[in-house]
Amino acid sequence: MSQFITDKADPGRIRPSSPPAVFGLPVRTLNIVSHWHSPATGALLAAEIGRDPANLHLHVQRISLWKSLGDDQELGSAVVDLCLVLGACGLDLRRRMLRNYRQALRRVGLADYIEKSLDQGADLHDPRVARPGVVMARPVLGRRQFLRPSDSYKS
């Protein structure tokens, strides 16, 4: 296999080839889902969302991938991640996601939660959104309290 490929539009231009998405490198491309249509691509998109949560394009790619693969559980997780990142912003986008994917969200028990949280936004500390596949959920709120020896206790 050649390590370089030519650009068909400009045969004199040589560029390095890119490995398939299942190996984890070209996730940042704009059309990854159309080229590498597999659950491994969904896992890579979730990892990229964990690194860069504000990249809404990754969220939309992940949602469309799981919708096309027919996995309602992962689709619900992807929609929840988008809602968590948007917070109280992007009301129209959150409504559109709920409208387009209501049946899949209902099958996994998330439609009512997302509908109730439309106005104020989803809370990343809510334990109802801490599901397998949800990247942005933080189900524990508060600070850590460690025990230390008390001065009043003498042995």
Cβ neighbour number for residue 25 with a 10 Å cutoff:
12
- The pLDDT of 95-105, averaged and rounded, is 89
**Which segment of 6-15, 61-70, 101-110, 132-141 scores lowest on mean pLDDT?**
6-15
Per-residue pLDDT band for 22 (boundaries 50, 70, 90) equals: very low
Per-residue pLDDT band for 135 (boundaries 50, 70, 90) equals: confident
> String of b and e for 106-137 (b: at least 16 CB within 10 Å)?
eebebbebbeebeeebbbbebeebebebbbbb
pTM: 0.68
- Whether the per-residue pLDDT at 48 is higher than 70: the answer is yes
